[in-house]
Chain A
Amino acid sequence: MNSIKNIIGYIWAVAAILLIIVIFIGSDFLSKKFVEASGLKVSPLYTGGETLRVVEKNGYKMTIQKPVFPALIGENADGFVQIVLRSETGFADVIEERIDYDGNAGDDFLIKIDTKKSAAEVSSCDGRPVSLIKLYSLKNGWAVRVRVKNERK
C-alpha cells in the first residue's frame, strides 16, 4: 500500500511540473476554452451593457446600450442606460440627443452635453423618472450613464 502511495505521489509531482508547462504553452487556447466553458463575461456594470443600436449622426456615432439593472440575484429596481458618442472630427459645443432605449418608438429621455464645460443634463420625455449618474470624458468622445427605473420591478 505504501509503495503504491509512494508511486502515486511521485506521479502527482511530475504531473504538477507538466501542468505548469501546459498552462503557459497553451495559455491562449486554454483561456478561450475557459471563457467558452464557463460562459463568464465582464459585468455590464463596467461594459455598460450590450449594444442596443448604433446611430450614425452628422459627424459622430452614437451607441445606445441596453439598460442594466445590476444585482447579485435577479435584477435591481434601479439601473442605468449608457449612451456613448464618438467622433473622429470633434463635437459641437452642445449636443442634444433624444433617446428611445425601450424600443417603444417613443423618446424616453433627452440628454444635453455641454462639451466645453464637460457637463451634462438629462430630462424625461415620457414622464418616467430619469437622472444623470455620470458623464465620462473619453479620448474621442463622451459616455453618459442615465439612471432609469426597472419596469419589471
Chain B
Amino acid sequence: MNEINKPQSGSEKIGAIKSFFIALPMMLLTLLLLSGGKKPSDGYAFVALAATYILFNSIFYLMVKTGKTDKYRLPLYFTSSILFVFSFISHMLEARGSMAFTDDTLINCQIPFCHIATTMMIIPAALTKTIIFPGTMIGGYASIASMLVVWIGVSLSIGRGWCSWGCFFGGMDDGFSRFLKKPVIAKISENLKYMPYAVLLTVALTSAVYLSPTYCEWACPYKTVTEYQSVTSIESLIKMIVCVSLFISLVIALPLLTKKRTQCALFCPFGAMQGAANYISPFDITIDREKCVKCMACVKNCPTLSLDEACVKEGCAAITCVKCGKCVDICPKGAAQIHIKGTIYGLNPTAKRILFIYAAFLLFATFSGGWFQASLAKIFKLIATGVI
C-alpha cells in the first residue's frame, strides 16, 4: 500500500473489548428507546424488535471498532428510508384504503406532518400564529408539534446532520448515489449549489402569499412514494406529473448518474434552511491543513458538494455539510475529521468522532426505530402467514 492510501488518525481502529464498552451505553439506551419500555404486542413485534436492536447495535459497534462512519451508516440509512416508505404506505392503506388523500382527510386535518413543510410555515406562523398545514398539532400519526420538537432538538444537536441521520427521505437519493462505481456525469456546475436557496425563497414567499404549503402541493418528489392528492382535476393531474417527474429525476436518475445527492444538495428547501443549524451545532467537519496532501478525494466524493478547493484551503466544510462522514472515511491521510467547536484541532479525533456518532446514531435509532420495527413485523407476518 503506498503512503497516500494508508489510513491514518482521522479514522482510527479500536480494539474489540474497548469498542464493546464504548458501545455499551448505546446498547442500553437503544433497548429502552426502541422498546419504549413496553413488552412487544405479539410474536412478530418481538422478533422485529430483536432484529432491529441487534442490527442497529452491530452497526454501531462496527462504526466504533473500525473507525468508519459512512461505510456503515449508508446501507442502514438506505434500508431505513425504504422501510419508511413501506411502513408509511401500509399505514395509509390501513387507515384510508389508499395512498391518495381525499377531501375527508383534508377537512379532518389528518395529513401526517413532514419536516420539509417547516420551510413554508415559518413566515405565516410568525405573523398569524397558525400553521398552514392540514395536520394535527398533537396526537395522531406524525403530529405537527412532535415533529417540530424533534426538529428543534436535532438542529441544536447535530445541525444539518439531520439530512444524513434523521430525514426519512434522504436515504433514498443517498443510496442511489452509491450504486455506480464511477459517475456518468462527472461535472456539476458550481452555480447549481445555490439552487436550493432559490427554491427555499420561492416556496417560503409563495406559501406566505397563498397561505398554503406550495412545495408540498406542487413540487415534493416524495409524494410519489408516500401520499398524494386524488387525481380529480387537471390541476391535481399536473401536480402528480410534476412530483413523479421530480422523483424519477432528482431521487433516482441524477443520483445514479452523478453520484451526488441531487435532491438534497440541489433542490430540497429544507436542506437549504437546515444548513443554518450547522452554526449552532457543536460538531463540524474540518480538514487538517498540515496533514492534507491536496489529493481532493474528499472534494470528488462529497455527495452534497459541500467541499471544494476553497474549503480544503480554509480547512473546513461548507455550511451545507450533512455530516455523513464520507470524507472522514476516505481521506487517505486522516486530515478530514469530525471536530467539536472550541476544542483543539487534531487532538483526540477518535473521541470527537465517537461523541458525534453517539448523538447522530441515537437520533437515527430512535427516530427510525419505530418504522423499522413496524415494517419488519409486517414483513415477518407476511412471510409467515401470507397476509399483512
Residues of A within 8 A of B (CB): 2, 5-6, 8-10, 12-17, 19-25, 27-28, 30-32, 34-35, 38-48, 70-73, 84, 136-139, 143
Contacts and interface: CB of A to CB of B under 8 A. Distances in A.
B332 to A, nearest CB: 26
A136 B150 contact: no
Contact of A20 (B134, B137, B154): B154
Contacts of B359: 13, 16-17, 19-20
A25 B107 CA distance: 32
Contacts of A25: 33
Nearest to B212: A45
Interface residues of B, number: 58
B276 to A, nearest CB: 17
B192 interface: no
Given A8-B342, A12-B342, 18 more contacts: A5-B343, A13-B352, A13-B359, A16-B281, A20-B158, A23-B154, A24-B367, A28-B146, A31-B146, A32-B138, A41-B129, A42-B109, A42-B130, A43-B132, A45-B132, A71-B211, A72-B211, A136-B104
Interface string B119-156: 00001110111111111111000011110111011101
A10 to B, nearest CB: 6
A14 B343 CA distance: 13
Nearest to A2: B344
A35 B133 CA distance: 15
Main secondary structure of the interface of B (DSSP, over half): helix
Contacts of A34: 145, 148-149
Contacts of A42: 109, 130-131, 133-137, 144
B106 interface: yes
Contacts of B281: 16
Given A13-B352, A21-B29, A42-B134, A32 B103 contact: no
A19 B103 contact: no
Contacts of B125: 40
Contacts of B132: 43, 45-46
A54 to B, nearest CB: 16
B204 interface: no
Nearest to A23: B153
B343 A9 contact: yes
Given A39-B129, A40-B137, A16 B103 contact: no
